Amino acid sequence: MASSVMQTTYQKRGGNVYREASDDLADQLGSIIDASVSVRIFYSSHPTKTGKTGVNSSMQQPLRTPPPLVSPQKTACQAMKDNRCCWTRGKVLGGSSVLNTMLYIRGNKRDFDVWRALGNPGWGYEDVLPYFRKSEDQRNPYLARNKRQHGTGGLLQVQDAPYLTPLGVSFLQAGEEMGYDIVDVNGEQQTGFGFFQFTMRRGARCSSSKAFLRPVRNRKNLHVALFAHVTRVILDPETRRALGVEFIRNGKVQQVFATREVILSAGAIGTPHLLMLSGIGPRENLERVGVPVFHDAPGVGQNLQDHIAVGGLVFRIDQPVSVIMNRLVNLNSALRYAVTEDGPLTSSIGLEAVGFISTKYANQSDDWPDIEFMLTSASTPSDGGDQVRKAHGLKDEFYEDMFSSINNQDVFGVFPMMLRPKSRGFIRLQSKNPLRYPLLYHNYLTHPDDVGVLREGVKAAIAFGETQAMKRFGSRFHSKQVPNCRHLPEFTDEYWDCAIRQYTMTIYHMSGTAKMGPQDDPWAVVDPKLRVYGVKGLRVIDASIMPRITSGNINAPVIMIGEKGADLIKELWLQKHFRRGKRQQFGNETEQQQQQQGAGNETIVAVDSVTFTANETIPTS
């Protein structure tokens, strides 16, 4: 430890969304000059409990805390209890990659070129593509032949679904009927239809903790503390530097200090929350709740983006080929999974194929789709109302009205997801008490363009169900009118504009709340090196740095951010290490304070209330 290049404290406050960058980051930093770097990670979470039992997202029961209450708004989620969108959180090693549907979607090339054009050099598509390849272990030999787009041998295994229903191929055929190509959606062209690619290994979930942390759990320079809730970053007002973090563990307030850097990877909710609790955020909000202002950063908590989709677009079919829970869970399927590691128990809530399409609001001749179809061999009523209605927070009366008549019947679902929302939400402190949730305002569908794009996505989904490929199964739209919209003529634009505000589904892709941007951008929180403006020795590496959300599911881009963030850190400190032949110090005052606290030379990573401390190792389960 005394010879560390840097001691990293990594805060991982175990319930926030999309902080998988942390696990990759810890792996990469811990490998610097063998064991010369000490990495401490703080989790308020449990060890990972999902492995063989964490395969089917509709079946698993992940460790959860009560979700933060999203402020009710009239623009969306009117079918949910209390008119609140349900933002689920899971406290577990691996973060949301232990709870998600394992979809591996990188996004569109232009997403990253737009990041670069917004004043972020080094973040264009050609800059980030090597980091996607670096972590990937693509198991489809046909896709792996494309060495430019795909990598093999990385720690994150990516494979096709081990099990498909007869609907899977028909989904692609229906896409062709609509005029789209069959494509590798992580390849040269995004527009089109293809099978989903999953972060799975031998038929089971390959979370970020399984991929990146588990292989290095015995490293002497990696220290993980579970059940450690980070409450703030310790800041020096004289040097304007981050010194370490404060956390609560076993009912005691403790502190740990870093020689080099403090890294926040607490996710798009946890990171701005921690920044504001530390005095870094909008002055007005901080002063209102009594937090001393260290640095007035108006962009902290702003720019909140999320992908939303319309739920309840259910198509009934006549053939017994879909995923129905009471037909899926039986002894035969369990034995098949145990012996061959495939079969229906490997299904991720029936997700089989994906389509990237362009509505009338997009340029039809350009590879820049604005809607993603998530195509499933199941839908909301496929479990008889047991789990999905609860996960989505649906009102009982809404579910009974809309779906009780088709419980456990053969159906498929189309979930049109808007790829580039223009609506922006925000996060605010409601108290200086770090154990209270922040105020969350999604602002879904507050921009009129979002309403138009999502409406056209719904109309395209209805057309998808009318293709001959789907009619072979007897496909027919479950066209029961949505409550609150029955005063409007069905299938009109006015009706759909109303309907999309009822069963509004978050896809749990919260991002953008600590925006990356140039120094002249008043809303930028971090620079292109991911360093927080106005504070030395503090970085953010998670989904919150996205200037604009990527066009697709964000698990893969967040892992890429972790890969690139690790290189940015190594680039700085290894360069200084080799040039000067010794470690760089934050300053005499910082070093003396760390020695008094017994901190050593570390980098602290804050992962949504997770703290890595000495004398602890990562659990193997």
With contact defined as beta carbons under 8 Å apart, do 19 and 542 qualify?
Answer: yes
Largest CA distance in the chain: 75
- The verdict on whether residue 532 carries a ligand-binding annotation is no
Closest CA relative to residue 604, chosen from 39, 55, 210:
39
Instruction: In whole angstroms, give the CA distance from residue 172 to residue 187.
Output: 17
DSSP per position, 153-199: S-SEEEEE-S---HHHHHHHHHHHHTT--B--TTSS--SEEEE-EE-
Closest CA relative to residue 512, chosen from 542, 553, 555, 551:
542
With contact defined as beta carbons under 8 Å apart, do 189 and 434 qualify?
Answer: no
Under 8 Å CB-to-CB from 571, ≥6 apart: which residues?
Answer: none
Under 8 Å CB-to-CB from 390, ≥6 apart: which residues?
Answer: none
The SS3 assignment for 416 reads strand
The residue annotated as part of the active site, out of 46, 229, 307, 509, is 509
With contact defined as beta carbons under 8 Å apart, do 230 and 44 qualify?
Answer: yes
Q: Is 509 a catalytic residue?
A: yes
Other beta carbons within 10 angstroms of residue 241's beta carbon come to 20
Instruction: In whole angstroms, give the CA distance from residue 574 to residue 603.
Output: 13
Half-sphere exposure of 361 (CA within 13 A, CB side): 17
Give the CA distances from residue 59 to residues 45, 99, 139, 386, 443, in Å, rounded to whole numbers and listed in that order: 21, 11, 25, 10, 31
Give the CA distances from residue 601 to residues 36, 538, 590, in Å, rounded to whole numbers and listed in that order: 10, 15, 11
The SS3 assignment for 111 reads helix
Burial of 582 (0-12, 13-18, 19+ CB in 10 A): exposed
- The verdict on whether residue 230 carries a ligand-binding annotation is yes
**H or E stretch covering 135:** helix 125-135
Half-sphere exposure of 467 (CA within 13 A, CB side): 19
CA 128 to chain CA centroid, nearest Å: 18
Token readout for 273 is 């929350």
Pairing state between β 261-264 and 7-12: parallel
Unique residue bearing structure tokens 């008549």:
405
The SS3 assignment for 566 reads helix
Annotated binding site for FAD: 92, 230
Residues marked active site are found at 509
